[in-house]
Amino acid sequence: MDSLEINDVVVVVEVNGYTIEPGADLIGADLAGLNHHLVGADLSGANLEGAKLGKTNLEGADLSGANLFLANLIMVNLNGAKLGKANLNGAKLGKANLEGADLSRANLGGASLPDATLIEANLNRANLNRADLRGADLRDANLEGADLRGADLGAAKLEGAKRSGCRTDERTVWPDGLCNADREYKLAVLQREAKEKAVKEAEKTARNLARDRNRNELARWKAEKTAQYMSVNPLDNRDGVSSSGDPDSMPDHTEICPGCELRVEADGSCLC
């Protein structure tokens, strides 16, 4: 039979021999595969520990504060259901439909939710510690203040999800397949490589500047020496300096410094 609500008075009914009412004792109950009997049912505060609810239609049902510890909820329909403060620790919710469901402050620690639909679900301050959310659809979900420490969100969809204040740790795995520890290590490696590249570029720039500066100083020194010689011997070519001021026409007996490739002065000075 179906449960009915008349003038806010809940009519208690039985489904498969189980009493459906708020606070009902349904430990280990087999309610799997029910198509419409539990739609909108009020099971708030009920004890459904270890219950079998796979493929059951619980759309719009009130399970707030219910105990669903280790319950089998694979492929269950909980669209728009109320599960605030419910205990879903260790529950199996693979491919479950929880779109728009209220799971605020619910305990989903260690729960299995691979490929579950949680679009626009309210998971505010929910406990998702060590939860398996691989491939889950969490688009536009509210994860503010949720505990995601050790949670696996590999390949999950998080577009538009609100995540401010959620807690994570080095074990938390994100959609790209990297856990926080891997991400931190990869970031450290990238930062180190960027720093090494910047240092190499700086050293290269410094070498280029030094080479250009040395070339300019060498050219200036040559010009100064040539001007000094020409001012003293403007027409004297005996030492290999022509009237054009070219010092490259020095005679063979002139001593040349191997360091700067210029003539060594009488006092032994040169650019080196």
Domain annotation covers residue 267: no
**In this structure, what DSSP letter does residue 177 have?**
S
From first to last of its 272 residues, the chain has per-residue pLDDT tens of 444 444 455 557 789 899 999 999 999 999 999 988 899 999 999 999 999 999 999 999 999 999 999 999 999 999 999 999 999 999 999 999 999 999 999 999 999 999 999 999 999 999 999 999 999 999 999 999 999 999 999 999 999 999 999 999 988 999 987 777 777 767 777 888 888 888 888 888 888 888 888 888 888 888 887 787 777 765 554 444 444 444 444 444 455 565 555 555 556 555 55
Domain co-membership, 133 together with 84:
yes
- The reply to whether 32 and 150 lie within a common domain is yes
Q: Do 126 and 47 fall within a single domain?
A: yes
CATH of residue 106's domain is 2.160.20.80
d(CA 217, CA 42): 92
> Domain range spanning residue 242?
182-249
- State how many domains the chain has: 2
Q: Looking at the structure, tell me whether residues 170 and 190 fall in a common domain.
A: no
Instruction: Dump pLDDT digits (tens) for 220-231.
Output: 888 887 787 777
Last residue of a domain, one of 148, 177, 206: 177
The answer to whether the predicted template modeling score (pTM) of the entire model surpasses 0.85 is no
Identify whether residues 221 and 238 lie together within a single domain: yes
Residues 36 and 142 in one domain: yes
Look at residue 226 in the predicted model and tell me its pLDDT. Answer: 79
Residue 10 burial class via C-beta count within 10 angstroms: exposed 0-12, middle 13-18, buried 19 and up? middle
Question: Residue 256: inside a domain, yes or no?
Answer: no
Say whether both 153 and 82 belong to one domain: yes
- Looking up tokens 């080479």 gives 211
Q: What is the DSSP secondary structure assignment for residue 82, as one 8-state letter? A: B
Q: Given this model, what pLDDT does residue 10 score?
A: 56
Q: Is residue 261 part of a domain?
A: no
Element (H, E) at 19: strand 18-20
> In this structure, are 10 and 141 located in the same domain?
yes
- pLDDT, one tens digit per residue, over 193-220 is 888 888 888 888 888 888 888 888 888 8
State whether 28 and 153 are in the same domain. Answer: yes
**How many helical (H) and strand (E) elements, i.e. helices and strands, does the chain have?**
1, 4
